[in-house]
Amino acid sequence: MDSHGYSALHLSAAKGYLEIVKGWSRWTQRRPAWPQSARVVTERDETALHLCVGSNRLSLIEEIGRDDDNEMVNHKDCEGNTLLHIAVAKKLIEIIKFLLTIPGLEINAMNKNGFTALDTSNKVPEIWETLKLNLFSEMLEF
């Protein structure tokens, strides 16, 4: 860990080092350290997945977030933003679409300002439509 709380996984995720992350995940999958080390947060309460989204690293998100881990995909940073909040704010359509395929993703999670990702998506029609369609399909499954 460095002085900002970044682990080797955080730095690899932020820099886009897919092969390093793949090798690390293969090595740690056989050990109980994988789930715990993937949950390590920075001083801003960001997981490696937050850094991947913030850096637009879809292939890394797919590698790290491949497990159905609701706690990881719904984790909030120091501002209360989930992965979906960050992806919407940065207008990362492909990442948004991937995140919406993860079972247990809390699409209505609110950040510290009281906004959901859907609330902040109104300015971008493609994002609004993607989130709205996903929300409606969830409601129909009830």
Note the CATH number of domain 8-141: 1.25.40.20
CB 53 within 8 A of CB 92: yes
Q: In the predicted model, what is the mean pLDDT of residues 64-69?
A: 62
Which residues in 46-62 are b (16+ Cβ under 10 Å) and which e? Answer: bbbbbbbbbeebbebbe
Kindly report, residue by residue over 13-42, the tens digit of the pLDDT: 776 666 666 666 655 555 444 456 667 788
* Whole-structure pTM value: 0.70
Domain boundaries, the chain: 8-141
